[in-house]
């Protein structure tokens, strides 16, 4: 049973902490509903949901899930497992070291959201609910039952502050909405992960291998979704599923293990990424993969400038363009006025070197500025670069970049006789053009990751962090702020130029429209900055994950047309609201954003 304590004050009602529930049901009944609903959700995935195969995914088969049914099956299984863990069933403690109730609610939300989205999509596309088979009704009832049971479980009620008696009608509504949001957040809160006994090293390595294999599987599934409805369902399942695993404490456990075996994890991640082209039947999705790697490599370079040194650069994509144009001009393109064809290693040096020089030239006079002023100057540099390459067309200026036509017909790379533009057979697998460049970008990303790790852990890296946290205090401690910031700016620019040399050969053509500040063509400065913030500023894995999501999701949401940017913006707002520190946060920033939330628990422990 649930209880709650309340006191009445003149200004309103102040409800004190106590055990409460969003839905008033006995606790035993709630757990039975959640468990039974989860089991029934799993079973419903093996039933037919519609009578016709006109709905994509063929949901007409009994005994074998298809399409969106697989996603409901996974979320239903998670709901069942977390429900058993909330019972305290022997052998399930490892499933939820931070507590199972919050994870159960989120997994039930995932199953409910995916199932009812599918029901709605079937009804809309096929002309009404009449097109549902009994399995469609069963999954709707099952997920609703599990959701009701999950949110009927008791939790600790937060302190609800009284309303101001002078509030207007709208103010009272906003106050009630805020209190309701506080209660809902408390229902989704999780405790501190419970200590588990140490595992043998070989078992920890196996767990890390399993996590990497799962990440590869999820990414491959998401990038290979065959139709729009399946990708939207994937977003619902992956979003709530990741939140459920986080609340359960499993993500924290995995982070601890990967941090303990960091070098092994990095090597395993590159191996898992190298396996991606072998999971594809053609070059279609390898194309997205190579662009994601280019985007992620540039985002990691920007993370040095923004995440470590704390310099807000809004024109960073210009350095990518400098590297791409410099490499295109010396790589044998027939439209290049120079008429030279350097080998790839020399083109890489030219591209990275040109970006390095521009980074120093732009940074030297501007890095004495701070904050918004620096952001405005870098934004101006990005626009100046684009306008300059537009005007160096032989008419408005010297004939160097062919203006808006760009440098076209850039030849494919040929390194030691290996033609990147031709198909190759490796171990029985046919690897196409984009897969070849995918492997090349993996090697370049490995170099960038090595530079980021070494520089971040070095003396200069600690100086960057000091400048980011408090530049005045860092200067007082003897750090040469201008020199340190200039090094960060130049290093970040050279890494962007390095990625630009490959981008020029992948795209065949470099044009000014590829290097805008914002929408619609990624990578651009706004998307790069969003990738760093979304993934986690100052971390190595954060920008890589953020860049992958920011490139993949818009690419898959093209069917929304004019509403694509609206949906994308709303998703970013929600993500920043619920996880402002990023998907893979730096511990310091996590404490900055959630210090007030962690303080009560700390004080409670201290008082006890």
pLDDT for the residue 494 = 92
Segment 556-588, tens digit of pLDDT:
877 777 777 777 778 778 777 777 777 777 666
Characterize the bridge pairing of strands 424-426 and 418-419: unpaired
- What is the distance between the alpha carbons of residues 307 and 468, in angstroms, rounded to a whole number? 8
Lowest mean pLDDT among 277-286, 346-355, 414-423, 535-544: 277-286
- What is the distance between the alpha carbons of residues 459 and 352, in angstroms, rounded to a whole number? 24
pLDDT for the residue 91 = 67
Q: Are 380 and 316 in contact (CB under 8 A)?
A: no
Strand (E) or helix (H) holding 491: helix 481-507
Angle between helices 228-248 and 201-223 (to 10 degrees): 150
Segment 371-412, tens digit of pLDDT:
788 888 888 888 888 888 888 887 877 888 888 888 888 888
pLDDT for the residue 322 = 92
Q: Was domain 283-548 assigned CATH 3.30.1450?
A: no
- What is the distance between the alpha carbons of residues 489 and 359, in angstroms, rounded to a whole number? 6
pLDDT for the residue 274 = 87
pLDDT tops 80 at residue 146 = yes
Query: Which is more confidently placed, 402 or 40?
Result: 40
Domain range list for the chain: 16-161+192-254, 283-548
Q: What is the pTM of this model?
A: 0.82
Q: How many CB atoms lie within 10 A of CB 102?
A: 27
* 226 three-class SS: coil
pLDDT for the residue 68 = 93
- In sequence order, the 6+-apart residues with CB closer than 8 A to the CB of 91 are none
pLDDT tops 50 at residue 144 = yes
pLDDT tops 80 at residue 123 = yes
pLDDT for the residue 5 = 40
pLDDT tops 90 at residue 145 = yes
- What is the distance between the alpha carbons of residues 12 and 535, in angstroms, rounded to a whole number? 42
pLDDT for the residue 334 = 87
- Report residue 427: phi and psi, to 5°: 50, 40
pLDDT for the residue 169 = 67
Segment 215-253, tens digit of pLDDT:
888 888 888 888 888 999 999 999 899 889 988 888 888
pLDDT tops 70 at residue 3 = no
pLDDT for the residue 253 = 85
Taking Cα atoms as reference points, which of 364, 351, 284 lies closest to residue 321? Answer: 351
pLDDT tops 50 at residue 4 = no
How confident is the prediction for the chain on average, in pLDDT?
A: 82
Banded model confidence at residue 592, pLDDT cuts 50, 70, 90: low
Banded model confidence at residue 255, pLDDT cuts 50, 70, 90: confident
Query: Which is more confidently placed, 413 or 564?
Result: 413
Query: Which is more confidently placed, 5 or 397?
Result: 397
Strand (E) or helix (H) holding 533: helix 525-535
pLDDT for the residue 547 = 85
pLDDT tops 80 at residue 523 = no
């Amino acid at each position: 049973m649930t209880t709650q304590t309340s006191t009445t004050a003149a200004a309103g009602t102040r409800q004190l902490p106590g055990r409460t529930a969003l839905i008033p049901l006995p606790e035993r009944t709630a757990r039975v509903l959640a468990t039974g609903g989860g089991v029934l959700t799993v079973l419903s995935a093996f039933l037919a949901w519609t009578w016709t195969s006109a709905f994509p995914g063929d949901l007409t088969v009994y005994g074998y899930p298809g399409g969106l049914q697989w996603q409901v099956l996974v979320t239903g299984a998670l709901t069942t497992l977390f429900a058993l863990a909330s019972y305290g069933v022997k052998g399930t403690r490892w499933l939820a070291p931070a507590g199972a109730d919050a994870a159960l609610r989120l997994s039930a939300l995932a199953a409910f959201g995916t199932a009812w989205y599918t029901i709605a999509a079937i009804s809309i596309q096929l002309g009404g609910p009449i097109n549902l088979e009994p399995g469609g009704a069963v999954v709707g009832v099952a997920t609703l039952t599990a959701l009701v049971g999950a949110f009927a479980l008791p939790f600790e009620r937060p302190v609800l502050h009284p309303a101001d008696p002078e509030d207007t009608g709208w103010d009272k509504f906003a106050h009630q909405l805020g209190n309701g949001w506080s209660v809902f957040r408390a229902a989704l809160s999780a405790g501190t992960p419970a200590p588990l006994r140490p595992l043998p090293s070989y078992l920890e390595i196996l767990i890390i291998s399993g996590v990497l294999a799962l990440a590869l599987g999820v990414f491959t599934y998401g990038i290979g979704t065959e139709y729009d409805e399946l990708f939207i369902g994937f977003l619902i399942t992956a979003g709530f599923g990741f939140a459920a695993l986080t609340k359960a404490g499993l993500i924290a456990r995995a982070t601890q293990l990967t941090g303990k075996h960091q070098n092994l994890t990095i090597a395993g991640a590159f191996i898992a990424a190298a396996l991606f082209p072998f999971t594809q039947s053609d070059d279609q999705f390898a194309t997205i993969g190579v662009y994601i790697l280019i985007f992620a490599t540039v985002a990691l370079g920007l993370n040095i400038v923004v995440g470590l040194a704390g310099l807000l650069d809004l024109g960073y994509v210009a350095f990518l363009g400098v590297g791409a144009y410099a490499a295109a001009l010396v790589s044998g393109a027939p439209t290049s006025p120079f008429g030279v064809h350097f080998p790839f290693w020399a083109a890489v040096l030219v591209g990275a070197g040109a970006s390095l020089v521009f980074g120093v030239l732009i940074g030297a006079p501007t890095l004495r500025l701070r904050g918004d002023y620096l952001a405005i100057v870098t934004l101006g540099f990005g626009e100046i670069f684009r306008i300059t390459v537009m005007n160096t067309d032989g008419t408005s200026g010297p004939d160097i970049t062919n203006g808006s036509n760009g440098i076209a017909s850039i030849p494919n790379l040929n390194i030691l006789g290996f033609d990147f533009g031709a198909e190759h057979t490796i171990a029985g697998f046919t690897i196409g053009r984009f897969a070849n460049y995918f492997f090349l970008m993996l090697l370049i990303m490995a170099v960038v990751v090595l530079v980021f790790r070494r520089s971040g852990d070095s003396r200069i890296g600690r100086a960057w962090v000091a400048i980011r946290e408090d530049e005045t205090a860092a200067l007082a401690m003897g750090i040469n702020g201008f020199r340190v910031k200039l090094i960060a700016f130049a290093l970040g620019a050279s890494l962007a130029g390095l990625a630009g040399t490959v981008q020029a050969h992948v795209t065949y053509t470099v044009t000014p429209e590829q290097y805008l500040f914002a929408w619609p063509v990624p990578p651009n400065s706004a998307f790069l900055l969003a990738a760093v913030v979304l993934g986690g500023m100052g971390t190595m894995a954060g920008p890589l994950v953020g860049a992958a999501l920011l490139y993949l999701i818009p690419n898959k949401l093209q069917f929304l047309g004019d509403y694509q940017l609206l949906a994308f913006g709303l998703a970013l707002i929600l993500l920043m609201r619920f996880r402002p520190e990023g998907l893979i946060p730096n511990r310091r920033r996590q404490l900055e954003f959630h210090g007030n939330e962690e303080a009560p628990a700390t004080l409670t422990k201290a008082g006890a």
